[in-house]
Chains A and B, each alone.
Chain A
Amino acid sequence: MNTELPNEIIYTHILPRLPAKSLIRFGCVSKYWNEVIHDPSFDRLRKRTHVLITSWSVVGDESKIHFVSVPVREDATLEPPVHLFSLPIDKHYILQSLNGLLCIHRANLLYPYLGDKPVYIFNPSTRELVTVPVDGSLRSETSHVSYYFGFSPCSNEFKVLGLRRCFTMEFEPTSIYCEIYTLGSGSWRRINVPVPFDPDELIYYTDPICFNGALHWMRESQNSIVAFDVGDECFREFQNPDGYPNPVYLRYLLVVDGHLAMVNGNHLYDENVMDIWVLQDYGKWLWVKDHISFPFDWTKSDRPIPISTIHTGELLLTPSFSSLSVLFYDMTRKSFRKIEISELPEHIFPTGKRITSFEENNMKLRA
Chain B
Amino acid sequence: MASTDDKVILKSSEGECFEVDMAVASHLQIVKSVLEDCEGSSDKVVSLFIVEAKYVAMIIEYYKNYVELKEKHEEGGFEEKLKEFEKQFLEQIDKKELKGLVMAVNYLNAPALFDVVCTAIAKHIENKSVEYVREYFGIVNDFTAEEEAQIREEHRWAYDGVNDD
Enumerate chain A interface residues (CB-CB to B < 8 A): 1, 3-6, 9-10, 13-15, 17-19, 21-22, 24-34, 126-127
Which residues from chain A contact B125 at a C-beta distance below 8 Å?
Answer: 14, 18, 22
> Are the C-beta atoms of A10 and B155 separated by less than 8 Å?
no
Which residues from chain A contact B148 at a C-beta distance below 8 Å?
Answer: 28
> Are the C-beta atoms of B126 and A30 separated by less than 8 Å?
no
Contact sample, A vs B, 26 pairs, CB 8 Å cutoff = A1-B52, A1-B103, A3-B96, A4-B137, A4-B138, A5-B103, A5-B137, A9-B118, A13-B118, A17-B119, A17-B122, A18-B122, A22-B126, A24-B155, A25-B155, A25-B158, A25-B162, A27-B151, A28-B130, A29-B133, A29-B134, A29-B139, A30-B134, A33-B139, A34-B151, A126-B155
* A-facing residues in B82-115 (Cβ within 8 Å): 96, 99-100, 102-104, 106, 114
Which residues from chain B contact A29 at a C-beta distance below 8 Å?
Answer: 130, 133-134, 139, 141
Which residues from chain A contact B158 at a C-beta distance below 8 Å?
Answer: 21-22, 24-25
> Are the C-beta atoms of A14 and B130 separated by less than 8 Å?
no
Which residues from chain B contact A3 at a C-beta distance below 8 Å?
Answer: 96, 99-100, 103
> Are the C-beta atoms of A31 and B143 separated by less than 8 Å?
yes
Enumerate chain B interface residues (CB-CB to A < 8 A): 13, 50-52, 96, 99-100, 102-104, 106, 114, 118-119, 121-122, 125-127, 129-130, 133-134, 137-143, 148, 151-152, 155, 157-159, 162
Which residues from chain B contact A13 at a C-beta distance below 8 Å?
Answer: 114, 118
In the complex formed, the residue of A with least CB distance to B129 is A25
Which among B50, B122, B139 has the highest number of chain A CB atoms within 10 Å? B122
> Are the C-beta atoms of A14 and B118 separated by less than 8 Å?
yes
B130 in complex: contacting residue of A9, A18, A25, A31, CB < 8 Å:
A25
Report B14 CB to chain A, min CB distance, Å: 11
Which residues from chain A contact B140 at a C-beta distance below 8 Å?
Answer: 30
In the complex formed, the residue of A with least CB distance to B140 is A30
Report B100 CB to chain A, min CB distance, Å: 5
Docked Cα-Cα span, A22 to B159, in Å, equals 9
Docked Cα-Cα span, A126 to B133, in Å, equals 20
Report A38 CB to chain B, min CB distance, Å: 11
Report A122 CB to chain B, min CB distance, Å: 14
Which residues from chain A contact B152 at a C-beta distance below 8 Å?
Answer: 28
Which residues from chain A contact B104 at a C-beta distance below 8 Å?
Answer: 1
> Are the C-beta atoms of A28 and B138 separated by less than 8 Å?
no
Extra pairs beyond A17-B118, A30-B141, A31-B142 (8, CB < 8 Å): A3-B96, A5-B137, A9-B103, A14-B118, A15-B122, A18-B122, A22-B127, A28-B143
Docked Cα-Cα span, A22 to B139, in Å, equals 17
In the complex formed, the residue of A with least CB distance to B139 is A30
> Are the C-beta atoms of A127 and B141 separated by less than 8 Å?
no
In the complex formed, the residue of B with least CB distance to A6 is B103
> Are the C-beta atoms of A9 and B106 separated by less than 8 Å?
yes
Docked Cα-Cα span, A19 to B100, in Å, equals 24
Docked Cα-Cα span, A1 to B114, in Å, equals 18
Docked Cα-Cα span, A21 to B162, in Å, equals 11
Which residues from chain A contact B130 at a C-beta distance below 8 Å?
Answer: 25-26, 28-29
Docked Cα-Cα span, A18 to B126, in Å, equals 6
Docked Cα-Cα span, A27 to B122, in Å, equals 15
Docked Cα-Cα span, A22 to B51, in Å, equals 31
Which residues from chain A contact B119 at a C-beta distance below 8 Å?
Answer: 17
Which residues from chain B contact A18 at a C-beta distance below 8 Å?
Answer: 122, 125-126
> Are the C-beta atoms of B13 and A10 separated by less than 8 Å?
no
> Are the C-beta atoms of B137 and A10 separated by less than 8 Å?
yes
Which residues from chain B contact A126 at a C-beta distance below 8 Å?
Answer: 155
> Are the C-beta atoms of B13 and A1 separated by less than 8 Å?
yes
Which residues from chain A contact B162 at a C-beta distance below 8 Å?
Answer: 25
Report B120 CB to chain A, min CB distance, Å: 10
